[in-house]
Amino acid sequence: MTINYTNVHLRHDDRTILSGINLHAQAGEMIYLTGLVGSGKSTLLSSIYGDTPIYSGRAMVLNHDMHKIGRNKLQYLRRQLGIVHQDLRLLSDRTIYENLDFVLKATDWDKKNLRKERIEEVLNLIGLPSIGHCFPHELSGGQKQCVCIARAILNHPELILADEPTGQLDIENGERVMSLLNEIRKQTDCTLIISTHNPSWSKTFPGTIYLCENETLTKITNNQQ
């Protein structure tokens, strides 16, 4: 099991964000976290990659106990994850190639030829093979989001977490990004968890839907493709 949360409580500054969470994800599963802004979706995602501590309950991520995980194991876990942040976090003073190369260097890809090969692979996968020389400001919003997906999959993650990946995109670019994420999930059998305030994506790209509301997490439907 990729994620096994049982009766988990999340707090921030002594305030309960979510309580009694039960979230169970299998390899290859598509999961949507829906709910209003401020309902706890992003906090739940951050607990999965270790930025928000588990207050109580059983929390396992890729066989790591999030109660007991130390710094070294946390760094190892994060190398098994792909994270698509809402605010993109691309380095503006570096080209797209340099942005991706920076991630590979930081995760112990020592051989330059292997880094180059992997960067070319992911740029081809997102359908933008010729943008490596470009700077982030030279790309459209949809292209930049696709680059963030490329960055997230560099290390062949078992789990991808995407926080509002289409929130700042128009419908056409949003659908392209969702289609790309879904295709990567199917090709690699990774688990994909998407935080979104637009649950209508599940009609085109079926998955399990959870609702964050009133400090709780409720499974709404299970319609895997």
Per-residue model confidence (pLDDT) at position 184: 95
pLDDT digits (tens, 9 = 90+) for 8-59: 999 988 899 999 999 999 999 999 999 999 999 999 999 999 999 999 999 9
- Name the pLDDT band for 225 (thresholds 50, 70, 90): low
Domain boundaries of the chain, sorted by first residue: 83-156
- Name the pLDDT band for 224 (thresholds 50, 70, 90): low
pTM as predicted: 0.93
Per-residue model confidence (pLDDT) at position 13: 87
Identify residue 165 by its one-letter amino acid code: P
Q: How many Å apart are CA 105 and CA 140, to the nearest integer?
A: 26
159 Cβ contact partners less than 8 Å away, ≥ 6 residues apart: 2, 3, 25, 48, 61, 62, 80, 81, 82, 190, 191, 192, 193
pLDDT digits (tens, 9 = 90+) for 65-115: 998 899 899 999 999 999 998 888 999 999 999 999 999 999 999 999 999
Identify residue 220 by its one-letter amino acid code: I
15 Cβ contact partners less than 8 Å away, ≥ 6 residues apart: none
